[in-house]
Structure 1
Amino acid sequence: MKRMVAAAGVSLMLMLGACGGDDDKVEAANDAGGTSAPAGGDTAQDAPASSDAMPGSDTPEEGTPEIVKPRPGMDNLRPVVWEKAESLSPRKVLVTFYGGVEPCDVLDSVKVKYGAKNVTISLYSGSDPKQPDAVCIEIAKLKAVEVDLSEDLGDRQIADGAPDADTKSSTSGGKADPGTPPDAPAGKMRGDAPAVALTPKAGQANVRGITWDRYEMIDSDTVRIYFMSGVEPCSVLDSVKVVYAKEVIRIAVFEGSDPKQPNAVCPALARFAYTDVDLKEAVGDREVVDDQQTD
Structure 2
Amino acid sequence: MRTTLAAAGLFLAAACGGAPAPTTGASGSPDDAVSAPAGTAQVTTPAAPAAGPSPTRPKGPTVHPRKVRWEKVRPSRDGRRLTVIWWSGVEPCSVLDRVGVRETAKRVTITLYEGQARGAENTACIEIAVQKSTTVKLKKPLGHREIVDGAKG
**What is the aligned counterpart of 2:113 among 109, 114, 124?**
124
Distance apart, 1:163 and its partner CA: 3.3
Q: Quote the Cα distance in structure 2 between the aligned partners of 1:61 and 1:148.
A: 29
Q: Secondary structure at the match of 2:59?
A: coil
Q: How does 1:172-251 map to 2 (within 5 A)?
A: none
Within the alignment, does 1:66 sit opposite 2:33 as a pair? no
Aligned 8 A contact 1:63 1:142 in 2: no
Q: Equivalences for 1:4-83 in 2 at 5 Å?
A: 61-62=49-50, 64-83=52-71
**Amino acid corresponding to residue 83 of structure 1 in structure 2:** E
Aligned pair partner of 2:137 in 139, 148, 155: 148
- Give CA deviations for 1:55-86 in whole Å, capped at 9, x if unaligned: xxxx9835610000001110111101000001
1:158 Cα deviation (Å)? 1.0
Gaps of 5+ in 1: 1-58, 165-295
State the aligned residue count.
106
Structure 2 CA distance, aligned partners of 1:60 and 1:125?
A: 27
- Provide TM-score, normalisation by structure 1: 0.34
SS in structure 2 at match of 1:136: coil
Instruction: State the 1:159 CA deviation.
Output: 0.9
Structure 2 residue matching 1:144: 3-state secondary structure: strand
Task: Tell me how far apart the structure 1 counterparts of residues 69 and 48 of structure 2 sit (CA, whole Å).
Answer: 20
Residue matched to 1:271: none
- CA deviation vs aligned residue, 1:180-239 (integer Å, no higher than 9, x gap): xxxxxxxxxxxxxxxxxxxxxxxxxxxxxxxxxxxxxxxxxxxxxxxxxxxxxxxxxxxx
The residue number in structure 1 matching 2:11 is none
**1:117 Cα offset (Å):** 1.3
Tell me how far apart the structure 2 counterparts of residues 77 and 87 of structure 1 sit (CA, whole Å).
26
* SS class of match (2:71): strand
Partner deviation per Cα, 1:8-39 (whole Å, 9 max, x = no partner): xxxxxxxxxxxxxxxxxxxxxxxxxxxxxxxx
When you count helix as a share of all residues, which structure comes out higher?
A: 2
Residue equivalent to 1:114 = 103
Which structure has the larger Rg over C-alpha atoms? Answer: 2
Change (3 A) 1:139 1:148: same
Letter of the aligned partner of 1:110 in structure 2? Answer: V
Secondary structure, counterpart of 1:135 in structure 2: coil
The structure whose RCO (Cα within 8 Å, separation 6+) is larger is 2
Partners of 1:133 and 1:74 in 2: CA distance = 14
Q: C-alpha separation between the residues in 1 aligned to 2:69 and 2:119?
A: 25
Q: Percent identity?
A: 40
4+ aligned runs moved over 4 Å, structure 1: none
| Residue identity in the other structure for 1:67 | P
Query: What is the CA–CA distance in structure 2 between the aligned matches of 1:128 and 1:155, rounded to whole Å?
Result: 37
CA contact (8 A) 1:60 1:66 kept: no
**Higher strand fraction: Structure 1 or Structure 2?**
1
Residue from 72, 87, 94 that aligns with 1:98? 87
Call closer, same or farther: CA 1:130–1:60 in 2, change over 3 Å. farther
Q: 1:120 deviation in Å?
A: 0.6
